[in-house]
Amino acid sequence: MIDLLQAHFATGSTPSPNSKTRGFIPVSGTRVNMPFTFIHGAAPGKAILLTGGVHGGEYPCIETAIQLANTIDPAEVSGTILIIHPVNPDAFLARMQYYGPFDGKNLNRVFPGKATGTVSERIAYQVHQFQQAADFFLDLHGGDIHEALVPFVIYSKLGGPEVAEQSRMASALLGFPYVVGSVSDNGSIGAAAQAGTPGFLAELGQCGRWNQGEVDQYKDSVCNVLRALGVLPGTAQQHSAEYLEKMLVTTATEDGCWYPSVALEERVQKGQKLGEIRDFFGTVKAEYLADSDGIVLYLVTSLAILTQDPVCAIGVF
Ligand SMILES: [Zn+2]
């Protein structure tokens, strides 16, 4: 991890133990500079990669990453923690939902990225270099500007049983109520898992808002995981979560107005109506039904909806 960062440090100096190094990681071939804090602990231990703001409109996770970067004391750390806060600063400043401003791509759908690709693909490629050098990867997300959600955690099943089990166990340590398995191969955690790095993608906060209470909860949850990994001192608290087999995302097939028929955390049955899209004259264009029994993990709250946008996600038991 230090070797990789070294290539990006403007100063050219190597971080010493019990130090904090801050600056920007330039993404090769782009104008993007990712703010980072590298915490080199006083004692040896695991290499942790912690990212917030892969999506620019998810504020609690971004503020959580910023505050953790400020407050974690290297004297208390065993190992190293690279925090990127946020990964997608231009999407953040442009207040964009899902997508990046330079290529219109969803950064969390282009992993592991490409060295000579579009801007989002190059960011993913850079982050993936750090993923490969890390022992554990925490990717902090939340509901986007137009999404409501109940806190949940996604882990990847792609890295083989051992990596998947480590990821699943660590996911529960956040203390969020639901833990969901994923087989997506173009997201951040899928790429990490396939490189042999366990981790998870956490979801907390929603609808373009943030408050210190949520950030405190997020920080406590992350620190609990870091304690379990031996990176922070103290004993990790155990939590019980409901494990869900997978997440089914329903996407819009029409542009127009979205009217959900279900509520967050509602338990739905296969075939139950999730909502409908109407045109600007109030005519129903499409109805969406649950493909399985499950629980509503997130729901789009904006009236506006575009074809291909997610409208609702169900965690399947
Ligand atoms: Zn996200």
What tens digit of pLDDT does each residue of 167-183 get? 999 999 999 999 999 99
The verdict on 118 and 252 lying in the same domain is no
> Residue 12 — pLDDT band, cuts 50, 70, 90?
low
The verdict on 218 and 279 lying in the same domain is no
The verdict on 126 and 228 lying in the same domain is yes
Share above pLDDT 90 across residues of the chain, in percent, rounded to a whole number: 95
Query: Average pLDDT, stretch 258-273?
Result: 98
What CATH number is given to the structural domain containing 258? 2.40.50.100
Query: Average pLDDT, stretch 140-144?
Result: 97
User: How many angstroms separate the CA atoms of 72 and 312, rounded?
Assistant: 36
What is the structure's pLDDT at 9? 54
Q: List, as ranges, residues with CB under 5 A of the ion ligand 1.
A: 55, 58, 141
- Residues paired with 149 in a beta bridge: 298
**Ligand 1 centroid distance, CA of 142 (Å):** 6
Tokens of 38: 């590298």
**Ligand 1 centroid distance, CA of 144 (Å):** 7
**Ligand 1 centroid distance, CA of 149 (Å):** 11
- CA distances, 128 to each of 51, 112, 115, 192, 288 (Å): 11, 6, 10, 7, 36
Of 217, 243, 269, the residue at which a domain comes to its end is 243
**Ligand 1 centroid distance, CA of 56 (Å):** 8
> Residue 15 — pLDDT band, cuts 50, 70, 90?
confident
What tens digit of pLDDT does each residue of 91-108 get? 999 999 999 999 999 999
Q: In what order do the strands lie in the sheet with 199-203?
A: 19-26, 33-40, 78-84, 43-52, 136-141, 199-203, 152-156, 178-182, 242-244
Among the residues of 139-230, which ranges form H helices? Answer: 161-172, 188-194, 212-228
Would the pLDDT of 305 be above 80?
yes
The verdict on 94 and 224 lying in the same domain is yes
The verdict on 219 and 252 lying in the same domain is no
Preceding amide of 112 cis, omega within 30: yes
DSSP state string for 235-263: PPPP---EEESEEEEEE-SSSEEEEE-S-
Q: Which domain holds residue 292?
A: 245-316
- Residues paired with 258 in a beta bridge: 277
**Ligand 1 centroid distance, CA of 244 (Å):** 19
What is the structure's pLDDT at 36? 97
> Residue 1 — pLDDT band, cuts 50, 70, 90?
confident
Query: Average pLDDT, stretch 118-135?
Result: 98
What is the structure's pLDDT at 74? 98
- CA distances, 213 to each of 79, 177, 205, 210, 222 (Å): 28, 17, 10, 9, 14
User: How many angstroms separate the CA atoms of 107 and 121, rounded?
Assistant: 7
What is the structure's pLDDT at 219? 98
Please name the residue that has the structure tokens 């600063």: 89
**Ligand 1 centroid distance, CA of 85 (Å):** 14
> Residue 76 — pLDDT band, cuts 50, 70, 90?
very high
**Ligand 1 centroid distance, CA of 14 (Å):** 32
| Angle (deg, nearest 10), helices 212-228 and 59-71 | 60
Domain count, the chain: 2
Short-list 267, 271, 254, CA closest to 306: 254
Preceding amide of 86 cis, omega within 30: yes
Short-list 302, 312, 314, 308, CA closest to 252: 308
Contact 162, 193 (CB under 8 A): no
> Residue 14 — pLDDT band, cuts 50, 70, 90?
confident
Report the chain's mean pLDDT, rounded to a whole number: 96
Would the pLDDT of 11 be above 60?
no
The verdict on 311 and 236 lying in the same domain is no
Contact 262, 272 (CB under 8 A): yes
> Residue 6 — pLDDT band, cuts 50, 70, 90?
low
The verdict on 258 and 206 lying in the same domain is no
Tokens of 250: 């329903």
What CATH number is given to the structural domain containing 57? 3.40.630.10
The verdict on 106 and 183 lying in the same domain is yes
User: How many angstroms separate the CA atoms of 119 and 100, rounded?
Assistant: 8
Short-list 83, 32, 39, CA closest to 61: 83
- What's the predicted TM-score (pTM) here? 0.96
Tokens of 66: 């910023």
What tens digit of pLDDT does each residue of 184-223 get? 999 999 999 999 999 999 999 999 999 999 999 999 999 9
Please tell me what DSSP assigns to residue 33.
E
The verdict on 56 and 183 lying in the same domain is yes
User: How many angstroms separate the CA atoms of 316 and 34, rounded?
Assistant: 35
